[in-house]
Chain A
């Protein structure tokens, strides 16, 4: 029985009909000019009316999506007078904000570098390990195969990022990739391996080698839960359901901790710290240009906002990653990730005629643009009952090419999810459309993970510079552990010698003054902390770009 409505059956028949002829076939990859052209014409990043230049602060004039600028041109939630800074609830060496892959790695590494577990505090607005890190499906890149090396990885990253990446950060990431995999295996992460004991590696969009290490299609889940388990083993202190709402500074211009909101008790608490690490993740829940998102509930750009309130420099926030294949049907899972590994293992994107229209492993920005063009330029998409458009992703080919049972074995999560809603992806294709996936830019860091403000470190998606203007699949996972570990190490080293002055929130008054001087009149407040879906907003799907 088909999981799709009657009116889509004719198109599904065409997919089935063309399938035998498509085995082993692919359109050629685009050349540099064709890529530039399709990005300019169809990528959401290139719609200039969907962005504006920031009016205030250390990155004034930087172009970014309206939704991001809205969170920066907004009032802080708290005012200095609201908080009693003499009442310090937590006094620690290293404060880690965020409990995903970067925060967990940072905490574990801080104690390796001599900080006592009770002098590290991790705060997290949801639960330990609840983050986008856990949702990563397809894999993590690391150049450890015999036919690969970090130099080749470097070139893939920098070309894929349109040469806008910060070279030092790319170097650190590609060189330390194999070391991250080694660390994970010591901790007991289960990577997919071949019978001879070598890694089972897959390609990704824009990679020139098979470099993707995976844990079925639960890669992020597997790594995150092992790190959480180890974090608890090490008895590092942490508080869940407690969100940082702003950073605290001292009278010497250093970041010195954060004001925390205890979400169970609606109460503010002060954490003082010699080093503070932002590991708050990205901004998917801002729904840039109305796009649905693959992101976790907590991905509301809090870290960038807090960093900006203390004057940290930002970069590359004009560039947003739309994952080519988010679910377009059924309605209940619209926007959720359909991993790139599906295409890596043979699934082809097809239009409503069942025709190939793009090389399946272009970089994500190019691939997403081709899907948007097929739906809105060439009018060859399939329209869903709620009016969304999508194209087919022909998953049954995976079993045709790799043998029956491959989908269930390697795509347990995908198979399970669609099955719950009546679609058997072994037999029928998925219906997909690009979905908001990742913020390519963020807070600027150097290779020590220092931001431009003393005492403030950052790691993971909250940062900019590693991926330039476009991130490759599997490099966000790698980024988390490479820079999470670096942040933990350098924050720990700093905490050994740093001393703090008197705590202050005066920077929030300065920020308010910048807002009024720039003529920003708004009742917006930020950080957002929790997205707003109450009432009819539950049902909204409104693409603003089209």
Chain B
């Protein structure tokens, strides 16, 4: 932290060499070097997974993954973006599924090929226990798979690294939807309020507010009961 602003490092973006300020993220460093993103940029805040990248640093054999918007450049970095992960998302009707292992095996049978090598977990820029949620899916533990995969942003780095050719993020998505729909279920007070709204219970009160002049609204707003 607090590096001297003028300190520069050398990076190689898809083979092209650039001198960039040492404290920039990969994304900003690429822009500094003159690149305008079309693919490979999204939220720029670590929420969307559009900017997955792989890199090696000079002198190391290690192939590493990162989000370009979250990773600070290092001197001697070789960078390739992986803006798209080639994978098919299976289509299904959630209302016809059951929350068990067979569902996962029917739609994503390749999960049974998991070698437990943990490469997916090591590749994850979100530090998610990817292998563990794939294994949880395999044994039908929907709740655990949903919980473990929750912070997934579908950047695809696990999928490009998996030697068993599993696409973990699709498996996690299925797990979370099954868990919400079938394990957690609907919320009673939400359903009740929807019925009340549909029965018109609040219409008269809201109509009265809508018909009020600004002064009346102001009085009611400033003097409203606050229960936090």
Tell whether B186 is near chain A: CB-to-CB under 8 Å.
yes
Tell whether B166 is near chain A: CB-to-CB under 8 Å.
no
Once the chains bind, are B127 and A534 in contact (CB under 8 Å)? no
Please tell me which one of the listed residues B42, B178, B186 contacts residue A297 in the complex, with CB atoms under 8 A apart: B42
A155 to B31, CA, bound (A): 45
> A residues within 8 A CB of B173?
225-226, 229
Once the chains bind, are B186 and A203 in contact (CB under 8 Å)? no
Tell whether A61 is near chain B: CB-to-CB under 8 Å.
no
**7-33 of chain B: CB within 8 A of chain A:** 21, 23-25, 28-29, 31-32
Are A530 and B38 CB-contacts (below 8 A) given A130-B48, A185-B181, A336-B45?
Answer: yes
Once the chains bind, are B194 and A178 in contact (CB under 8 Å)? yes
Once the chains bind, are A129 and B48 in contact (CB under 8 Å)? yes
Once the chains bind, are A126 and B209 in contact (CB under 8 Å)? no
Once the chains bind, are B210 and A182 in contact (CB under 8 Å)? no
Select the stretch in A394-402, A412-420, A489-497, A515-523 that faces chain B. Answer: A412-420
Select the stretch in B54-62, B85-93, B111-119 that faces chain A. Answer: B85-93
> A residues within 8 A CB of B72?
332, 421
Once the chains bind, are B48 and A134 in contact (CB under 8 Å)? yes
Once the chains bind, are B45 and A221 in contact (CB under 8 Å)? no
**Nearest chain A CB to B4 CB, angstrom units:** 10
Once the chains bind, are A3 and B224 in contact (CB under 8 Å)? no
Select the stretch in A70-78, A105-113, A187-195, A267-275 that faces chain B. Answer: A187-195
A361 to B193, CA, bound (A): 26
User: What would be 23 A-B contacts, judged by CB atoms less than 8 Å apart?
Assistant: A4-B1, A129-B48, A146-B189, A147-B227, A151-B206, A154-B206, A175-B206, A185-B185, A186-B181, A187-B181, A188-B176, A190-B179, A190-B180, A193-B184, A210-B228, A225-B173, A229-B89, A263-B38, A332-B23, A336-B44, A533-B31, A538-B24, A539-B32
Residue from A150, A156, A264, A330 having most chain B Cβ neighbours under 10 A: A150
Select the stretch in B132-140, B157-165, B215-223 that faces chain A. Answer: B215-223
Residue from B32, B37, B89, B228 having most chain A Cβ neighbours under 10 A: B228
Tell whether B188 is near chain A: CB-to-CB under 8 Å.
yes
- Using CB atoms, name the residue of chain A closest to B95: A186
Q: List residues of chain B with CB under 8 Å of any chain A CB.
A: 1-2, 5, 21, 23-25, 28-29, 31-32, 34-39, 41-48, 50, 70-72, 89, 91-94, 126-127, 146, 150-151, 153-154, 173, 176-181, 184-194, 196-197, 202, 205-206, 209-210, 214, 217-218, 220-222, 224-228
Please tell me which one of the listed residues A149, A218, A535 contacts residue B151 in the complex, with CB atoms under 8 A apart: A218
Tell whether A385 is near chain B: CB-to-CB under 8 Å.
yes
Once the chains bind, are A297 and B177 in contact (CB under 8 Å)? no
A187 to B110, CA, bound (A): 25
Tell whether A532 is near chain B: CB-to-CB under 8 Å.
yes
